[in-house]
């Protein structure tokens, strides 16, 4: 078993029982796309808006539903309806404005746990550059995600070492991946979106069919 970034025994117990945990079934494959929409994130939000179709292009032959989740401002937390339409997601993203505030990653993880309980959710993709919350609390929530065998793909804009440690811990507990990318890089971000969509619809086998440095790093982490 992988070494956890926390000594709390409850997380270990979560992982020990994960194989026996019932997985809900539903026809549509689903992916949560979560983003930090605080003020500093506006350039990346605009970038994600311009590249949003990458979530659907790779999986265009599959029945993929995407839910946009974001937080901003003073305790604002928003989730959209599930959609299999790139144009519908674009309309939503174009209407969002980024407001100053603190991170709410714990709410993202808690929401993902609830969705995993009622639908065929295959993965969480989170994009952010900061973490102002208690890591231990986030690791506890990540342990609950592990019960559903649901990987968290933590895409970190920039290279803040504390953020990297927390994001990597969440990814490790959920058997997901932590991938830093260069701020403002459309090419890198597009590759990450294609990779997570491929995984959601086809698993590791689908990832193996894609090329790219970041895709390979993601695949290596998933196969550890």
Alpha-carbon dihedral angle through residues 154, 159, 165, 170, given to the nearest 10 degrees: 0
Beta bridge partners of 78: 70
- At residue 26, the pLDDT reads 52
Q: Name the range with the highest mean pLDDT among 2-6, 87-91, 162-166.
A: 162-166
Reported as type and span, the H/E element at residue 70 is strand 64-72
d(CA 13, CA 55): 34
Token couple for 69: 């989740």
Q: What is the DSSP letter of 65?
A: E
Coil/strand/helix, residue 47: helix
- At residue 86, the pLDDT reads 86
Coil/strand/helix, residue 136: helix
Question: Considering the entire predicted model, what is its pTM?
Answer: 0.85
Q: What is the DSSP letter of 23?
A: -
pLDDT tens column, 27-86 = 578 999 999 999 888 899 999 999 998 888 766 656 789 999 999 998 999 999 998 888
Q: Closest by alpha carbon to 56, among 156, 210, 183, 193? A: 193
Residues listed for the chain: 224
- At residue 41, the pLDDT reads 87
Buried-state track 189-202, b at ≥16 Cβ within 10 A, e below 16: bbbbbbbbbbbbbb
- Return all residues near 131 (Cβ < 8 A) that are at least 6 apart: 103, 105, 138, 162, 163, 166, 167
């Amino acid at each position: 078993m992988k070494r956890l970034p926390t000594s709390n025994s409850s997380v270990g117990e979560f992982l020990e029982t994960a194989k026996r945990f019932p997985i809900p079934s539903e026809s549509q494959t689903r992916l949560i796309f979560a983003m930090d929409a605080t003020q500093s994130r506006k350039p990346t939000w605009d970038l994600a808006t311009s590249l949003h179709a990458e979530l659907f292009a790779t999986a265009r032959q599959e029945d993929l539903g995407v839910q946009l989740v974001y937080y901003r401002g003073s305790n604002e937390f928003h989730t959209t309806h599930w959609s299999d339409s790139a144009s519908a997601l674009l309309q939503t993203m174009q209407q969002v404005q980024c407001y100053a505030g603190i991170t709410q990653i714990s709410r993202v993880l808690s929401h993902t746990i609830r969705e995993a309980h009622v639908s065929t959710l295959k993965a969480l993709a989170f994009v952010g550059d900061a973490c102002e919350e208690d890591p231990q609390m986030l690791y506890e929530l990540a342990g609950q995600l592990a019960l559903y065998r649901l990987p968290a793909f933590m895409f970190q804009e920039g290279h803040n070492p504390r953020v990297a440690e927390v994001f990597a811990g969440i990814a490790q507990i959920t058997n997901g991946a932590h991938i830093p990318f260069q701020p403002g890089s459309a090419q890198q971000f597009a590759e990450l979106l294609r990779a997570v969509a491929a995984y959601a619809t086809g698993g590791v086998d689908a990832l193996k069919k894609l090329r790219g440095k970041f895709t390979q790093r993601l695949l290596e982490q998933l196969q550890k």
